[in-house]
Amino acid sequence: MYEKSHGMERNDAEAVRLYRLAADQGYAVAESNLGHMYSEGLGAEQNDAEAIKLNRLAADRGFAHAQFHLGIAYEHGRGVPQDEALAYMWFSLSAAQGDGDGIRKRDKLAGTLTPDQIAEAQRLAQAWKPTK
């Protein structure tokens, strides 16, 4: 509510504080939202490494939105080495849950990858298992 100004004045620092409390308890939505705050420097200093760490935790729990954000990070090399095949894998995992953004990004990225890269990304996606 603090991040989106729902019923109160926007307060990014308070949103970060509350997301951290929930993320520390393993709540995937909070991990992903806190990762976004760090990625954009909202309410906390911009920190790509922390954003990746938090989104990875949420993505490993199977949270589609975090998987999408990891795909973006790998596609652009933000906080991780650029790797379009890994981006495709994360977009595919997000897309498999019906995430429209993941579907669009996966399909768009497919046009830039070789058949071998796509096959490897698909193999990685099929082998992936949630952690918790």
Tens-place pLDDT, residues 3-45: 988 889 999 999 999 999 999 999 999 999 999 999 999 999 9
The one-letter amino acid at 54: L
d(Cα 11, Cα 91) in Å, to the nearest integer? 31
Q: Output the pTM of the full model.
A: 0.91
**Domain 12-127, CATH number (from 1.25.40.340, 1.25.40.10, 1.10.1060.10, 1.10.3210.10):** 1.25.40.10
- Residue 37, amino acid: M
Report the amino acid identity of residue 43.
G
Give me the percent of the chain exceeding a pLDDT of 70. 99
Across the chain, mean pLDDT equals 95
* pLDDT of amino acid 132: 67
- Quote the DSSP letter at residue 27: -
